[in-house]
A and B are shown apart, each in its own frame.
Chain A
């Protein structure tokens, strides 16, 4: 199975995108998407994980006060390569217990639960380990590489 070593679209959304652009199926309806946090080591997250139940997902536990946040992306840019990214700062927490070291952001289809489909994974520029009482904040995207959670086809 291919392991992710940088941010990329995952299998579920690869299939959706290809089926849509080659007119095999209708695109899925407009809906909110969410950004989860994962402790999986670099190189161990599998792009073939279809749902947040996957063995290599390792999402923060909600017992720490953690919850997925709205991703809130722009529409895909009119450029080649086209990109999509979050338009606002994203903040998780406050944490009521130490949730561990965060390595990845994972965009997915539901606000909670392991049935959410995985859309894309974003490798953090540097890991973060929030303490009790902390909140964890990510920058708003600008379209520039390395700022916010940016995804490119």
Chain B
């Protein structure tokens, strides 16, 4: 059995790198097709570092703080299962 490389459930204050298996941005992955150039610039891109800002109490969804390609500070809610597969912890 191959080793489980999935990220553990995150804790507030931890930092991770977005490394999705499909190699495309978060929004583009969900859409299933390329985004416009404007939306691509605002998408959560592979290689982006995120900070776990908060865990939503009612759902357990991590709220991630990150900076997009235009330099804007952003917060995005993430599905916990999806998070486990798409992020790698920063030691």
Q: Tell me the A residues contacting B by CB distance below 8 Å.
A: 62-70, 88-89, 91, 93-97, 111-114, 131-135, 137
Enumerate chain A residues within 8 angstroms of B26, measured Cβ to Cβ: 65, 94, 96
Enumerate chain B residues within 8 angstroms of A89, measured Cβ to Cβ: 72
Q: Given contacts A67-B63, A132-B30, A137-B42, is CB(A62)–CB(B56) below 8 Å?
A: yes
B8 within 8 A of A: no
| Cα A112 to Cα B64 with chains together (Å) | 12
| Cα A91 to Cα B76 with chains together (Å) | 10
Per-residue CB contact flags for chain B residues 33-72 toward chain A (1 = under 8 Å, else 0) read 0010001001110000000011011110101100010001
Q: Would you list which residues of chain B between 58 and 91 have a CB under 8 Å from chain A? A: 58-59, 61, 63-64, 68, 72-79
Enumerate chain B residues within 8 angstroms of A114, measured Cβ to Cβ: 58
Q: Tell me the B residues contacting A by CB distance below 8 Å.
A: 25-28, 30-31, 35, 39, 42-44, 53-54, 56-59, 61, 63-64, 68, 72-79
Q: Given contacts A133-B28, A135-B27, is CB(A91)–CB(B77) below 8 Å?
A: no
| Cα A132 to Cα B26 with chains together (Å) | 10
Enumerate chain B residues within 8 angstroms of A69, measured Cβ to Cβ: 74-75
| Cα A89 to Cα B76 with chains together (Å) | 16
Q: Given contacts A94-B39, A112-B56, is CB(A132)–CB(B63) below 8 Å?
A: no
